[in-house]
Structure 1
Amino acid sequence: MIIYLDRQPLQVRSGITVAAAVAASGEPRTRTSCSGQPRSPLCGMGICQECRMTIDGRRQLACQTLCQDGMQVERGP
């Protein structure tokens, strides 16, 4: 299946989370901190909030969201 990460197509396996797809993309950053530091998922279960991304127009936790074909995913500030 294909998702779009920052408007670029990314081939992903069915059944994986958005966080796993981003990690496998070669650029594991999910967002940038207020101080400009790249952030990536830490806990993998939704507690740390480091995986917040815009997914299909809504801010969501990437580690708790399964990829769906055609999904639009954006790294955020």
Structure 2
Amino acid sequence: MFKRIDGAAARPGGTLFFEGRAVAFEAGDSVAAALLAASIDGFRDHAVTRSARGPYCMMGICFECLAEVDGVQNRQTCLLKAEDGMAVRRQRGARVLP
């Protein structure tokens, strides 16, 4: 679905893990960009209908890219810089409050 621009020099960044799957990313990638480049487009389930949702605006306005990152729910992955070793999980339904 998404791919990097041909001819652009790859800039090694590291590896994050989406539900246990290793995802390599380039330096400067957001978590959302890294996942989309790895053909992962469902980051969360809708709180009511449970339909798969993924990034739409990539600038923090739509909140469709929410996921659980390193155990913290409701993270906007389009605004979050990818870091080596991050654990990202699909957010299922509404956020759980303590």
TM-score normalised per structure 1: 0.92
Alignment of 1:16-55 (within 5 A): 16-33=29-46, 34-55=48-69
Greater relative CO (CA pairs within 8 A, separation 6+): 1
Q: Which runs of 5+ in 1 are unaligned?
A: none
> For the residues of structure 2 that align with 1:3 and 1:57, how far apart are their CA atoms?
14
Which structure 1 residue ranges, 4+ long, deviate > 6 Å from structure 2?
A: none
Identity of aligned residues (%): 31
> For the residues of structure 2 that align with 1:2 and 1:52, how far apart are their CA atoms?
19
Cα contact 1:30–1:38 (8 A) shared by 2? yes
> For the residues of structure 2 that align with 1:69 and 1:27, how far apart are their CA atoms?
18
Count, aligned residues: 77
Q: Which runs of 5+ in 2 are unaligned?
A: 1-13, 93-98
Specify which structure has the higher proportion of helix: 1
